[in-house]
Structures are given as C-alpha cells and as structure tokens.
Amino acid sequence: MRIDVVSIFPEYLAALDLSLIGKARREGLLQLHVHDLRDFTADRHRTVDDTPYGGGAGMVMKPEPWALALESILAGRPAPAESGSRAARPVLIVPSPAGEVFNQALAYELAEEDHLVFACGRYEGIDERVLEWAAQAFTVRPVSLGDYVLNGGEVAVLAMVEAIGRLLPGVVGNPESLVEESHSDGLLEYPVYTKPSEWRGRGIPEVLLSGNHARIARHRRDEQLRRTAARRPDLIEALDPAGLDKADKATLEGLGYAVTPDGVRAVQASERTS
Ligand code: J9N
C-alpha cells in the first residue's frame, strides 16, 4: 500500500518512523510519504489560509495549495500496467469532526486499498471546493476520529495510519493476534494478568490457574460480556443473537438483558423477574 499525507506540520508525522509502522515502511510493506503543504504555495509568506467568506471565527485553508499538492501526488502514480487495465481510484481521506466516524470496520475496508491520501486541515477547515474538485480523481471521504475537537487532522492521521497499517499482510508478526482482539467479535477484551500470581495483596481469578481450557474460555467470555455491559451497553444491544450460545444468554440475562431472535435489549429494573 502507498500512503501520502499532506500537512503544514510534516514533523508531526515523524512518529510513523517508529515501532511497527516504521518497521513495515523499512521492510517495504508500506510506502508512506509526507508532504509539506507550504511547498505548494507561491507567495513570499507561504500563505495557506485566509478569512472566511460570510464572516465568522477563524481562518479557512486556501484551495490552490491543496490542488497543487494533490496534483503532484496524482502525477507520481505509476501508469496502468497494460492497455485496458485501469488502476483503482486513490482514496482521499479528510479528517474532520464532520466526517463519518472511523472504526475497525472502516480500517479493514481502507486496508484493502492500493493508495490512500490524507489531507490534514487546520484552522476551521479546507475550502469546500477542494473536496468537490478532488472527487474527479479521488474517492473523497471526510472521516472523524470521534466526537471531540482537535486542532488539526494530524493526530487523527496518526491513529488511522496505525489502525490501517497493522492490518496489512506481514505487518503484525502473529496474524492470530488480529482476530482475538477487542471489537472483532463486537465485545471488549477480557482482563489479562501475568506473574506474580499474587501482587501487593491481590490475586488473580482462580480458574486461570486450573488448566481447564474450557472453563477458562467460559470465564473470559463472561468477563467480556460483563465489561462490555458496564462500559459499552451500546455494543451489547448491537450483538447478533445468532452469535450467542446458551451460556452467553444466561450471562446476559444475569446482567439485565433479554435475548430474543430479534436481538438483545436492556430489561427495565421494574420488568425484571430474578
Ligand atoms: N475527529 C476530529 C477531527 C478533527 C479535526 S480535523 C482538522 C481539525 C480538527 N477534530 N476532531
């Protein structure tokens, strides 16, 4: 996969030289290129922003530097290999609190693409005409990291590139660690423990020392359900009942949920029998 990032703070993306993603780059599994938007300005002050038409707070990113930066990225794409073969459109991801919310499903979807381009806005945003114009050559996707406000897209890009990059073939050494983790089954992960078995007066659940793998699996599944009900009741209500076994249903009922073929719903305290 190739990823290009355009930013007025290219040094912000230096973290992508480190750890798993840095290793993937050095091994050629991921080609990542960071571009300074100011290199695509033509004035002495390398101006990237201006005041908003219609008034209002803050500054808006000017369109022309964005068009020149994106055109230079498009110009660097390899020509289609043979006549009649057309390369997939690159995807232009624009971090924005007004975008669709990034999640693991979107990470998997984007990990299938050949070419991602991230446009990091600052200030109050990028002139909307850039997104309209870019749709001629890119699939444009405004994406939010979550319902909170950042000063710019760079931190969102760090998170998204890490989430996507670790799904690329060969990046995570043991691919089994990708399937067992949080959110892949719609539940939060179970709590984990390591040595010593007693630490500062605190033990660990006895069952983990039993060697009984079926009981351990059941205990962990119940901990996932309990934790998810406590922290993310929205995920419990989104579960597909077809993916729940008898013991799951019993645990959920004990946690105050009713499980029917139609779904899982919270039972009002006043409706509960036991
Ligand atoms: N989720 C999210 C994105 C943002 C941005 S992108 C550019 C400025 C702010 N805030 N929150």
| 163-215 per-position pLDDT tens digit | 999 999 999 988 777 775 656 789 999 999 999 999 999 999 999 999 999 99
pLDDT of 226 higher than 70: yes
209 CA to centre of own chain:
35
Check pocket membership of 149 for ligand 1, CB cut-off 6 A.
yes
In sequence order, the β-bridge partners of residue 184 are: none
**What is the C-alpha separation between 54 and 61, in angstroms, rounded?**
15
β-strand 31-36 against 49-50: which pairing, if any?
A: unpaired
DSSP H helix total and E strand total for the chain: 9, 9
**What is the C-alpha separation between 41 and 67, in angstroms, rounded?**
10
Check pocket membership of 7 for ligand 1, CB cut-off 6 A.
no
Three-class SS state of 226: helix
Q: Six-digit token pair at 49?
A: 């922003």
Mutate to test the pocket of ligand 1, among 48, 144, 151 (most ligand atoms within 8 A of CB): 144
Per-residue model confidence as pLDDT tens digits over 234-249:
999 999 999 999 999 9
The pLDDT assigned to 270 comes to 84
Check pocket membership of 121 for ligand 1, CB cut-off 6 A.
yes
Three-class SS state of 162: helix
Q: Which atom of ligand 1 is nearest to the CA of 94?
A: 6
**What is the C-alpha separation between 138 and 70, in angstroms, rounded?**
10
Q: Indicate the pLDDT class of residue 131, thresholds 50, 70 and 90.
A: very high
- Whether residue 175 has a cis bond before it, omega within 30° of 0: no
Q: Among 69, 118, 73, 172, which residue's Cα sits nearest to residue 180?
A: 172
Q: Six-digit token pair at 16?
A: 């992508």
